Structure 1
Amino acid sequence: MTIICLEGASSVGKSTTCQQFATQYDAFIVPETGFLCEAPQLEGKELMMWLLERQIDRWHIAYEKNQQHEYVILDGDVFKIWYSWIYGSEHLSLDETANFFREKLLKNEISLPDAYVLFWAEEDELRKRKEMDQTRSRRNFDKHLCMIEPQMRYFHYLNELVPGYVGIHKAETVEENIHHIVKHCETLPDIKKRESEIFDRVIDFYKSTTP
């Protein structure tokens, strides 16, 4: 039983891959926050804290379903600190976000997933896929294109820190994406005893690296 987090830029195919994966394997998909619940009428720091708490909820769902299914797939990272690292945050500092997650880690209210899979594609290809998909508006599409290079650098760093932890795959077809997920999960490092160390090293990376 494996909890896998899929990441990548908008239109790379995460959600489609999740849906198809669940038709082929005993898998439960935990969608992004926006598909789980409607955001309340909050602003600023209160809204940011609400969003962080929803990541804890997403993890609780993943943990519970992991007892019942061979795979649980998180459509998007529960530890999305890299997003604030790339774009900055006017409401919560990096330290505030890191302290929130560190406390939850120590209380076993959240954990690192068993595996990460990062899908990527060329910018022209992502734009083409966006135009072909009329089911979603993708309002922040152009903004999210800016995250491709720094996100790739971050996940390469994480894979150097924990060899074999992140599967980085060029997303060309859904079938190949699914094959990559399954193959990647065949041999994964045991990260459970290193979670706090890995988390702190990641925060150090954010603090010392320009996105």
Structure 2
Amino acid sequence: MPIICLEGASAVGKTTTCTTIANIGNTYVVPEVNLLFERPKNMSKTWYLERQVERWKIAKRKLCEYDFVILDGDIFQPLCYNWCFHFEIFNQSLTFLHEFYESEIKVGNILFPDKYFYLHTSTDNIRSRKENDQTRQRGNFEKHIRIIEPHQRYYEVLNQFVPHIVQLVEASNMEHNVKVIMDNVPLEPLCKDSEGLLNHITDWLTNSKA
């Protein structure tokens, strides 16, 4: 019973795809942090990271009840987002992030998903979908638009360290998204060594510019 993750740019269709899959099968969706938890007024430096760990724990518990679980957004997202914004916005250095995730992996509190599906489409399509979606407020949307290229590049490079752990899905329409994902859900984890993958990612982020 796998845990998969859907990723991609804001407004590309991750949440809608997750919901559609859940509606047609025995699947549980773990929402992103901002939809699942209420942010405290005095948020600690590790609050967001700790909530990602909690999302993983929810996913693991739900595997007992469902055929598979989908993470709507990456539990390791802070690595990518901080890098995309040159570690200047969220006050979290790469060393800080690495040490947090490494300690949680060592005690078994979090692991990498069994597989990522990365949804992508043109910037024009993303803007159009954002404008036509009245169900959600998307803060800092223009900032997210500016990091589309490095964000996708980050996920593509994961395949260098764990072959096929990330599958790109051209998000042309919902039927296509669902078919590609359902046809390619892995039978077993593709990543056998989460600590090793974290180390590879950290080295790559250290030596690569967004």
Query: Shift of residue 202 of structure 1?
Result: 0.5
* Equivalent position amino acid for 2:15 in 1: S
* Equivalent position amino acid for 1:84 in 2: N
Question: For 1:94 and 1:186, how far apart are their aligned partners in 2?
Answer: 30
| CA RMSD of superposed structures (Å) | 1.4
Query: Shift of residue 184 of structure 1?
Result: 2.1
Q: How does 1:23-38 map to 2 (within 5 A)?
A: 23-38=23-38
Question: For 1:3 and 1:58, how far apart are their aligned partners in 2?
Answer: 11
- For 2:152, the equivalent position in structure 1 comes to 152
- For 1:9, the equivalent position in structure 2 comes to 9
Question: For 1:188 and 1:124, how far apart are their aligned partners in 2?
Answer: 36
Contact in 1 for aligned 2:117/2:169 (Cα 8 Å): yes
Question: For 1:125 and 1:188, how far apart are their aligned partners in 2?
Answer: 34
Question: For 1:31 and 1:189, how far apart are their aligned partners in 2?
Answer: 21
* Equivalent position amino acid for 2:33 in 1: T
Query: Shift of residue 139 of structure 1?
Result: 2.0
Q: Secondary structure at the match of 1:117?
A: strand
Question: For 1:151 and 1:41, how far apart are their aligned partners in 2?
Answer: 29
- For 1:70, the equivalent position in structure 2 comes to 67
Q: How does 1:68-107 map to 2 (within 5 A)?
A: 68-80=65-77, 81-87=79-85, 88-90=87-89, 91-107=91-107
Query: Shift of residue 189 of structure 1?
Result: 5.7
- For 1:202, the equivalent position in structure 2 comes to 201
Query: Shift of residue 153 of structure 1?
Result: 1.1
* Equivalent position amino acid for 1:127 in 2: R
Query: Shift of residue 36 of structure 1?
Result: 1.0
Unaligned runs of 5+ in 1: none
Question: For 2:187 and 2:64, how far apart are their aligned partners in 1?
Answer: 20
Unaligned runs of 5+ in 2: none
TM-score, normalised on structure 2? 0.94
Question: For 1:202 and 1:66, how far apart are their aligned partners in 2?
Answer: 27
Divergent runs of 4+, >3 A: 186-190
Question: For 1:208 and 1:174, how far apart are their aligned partners in 2?
Answer: 37
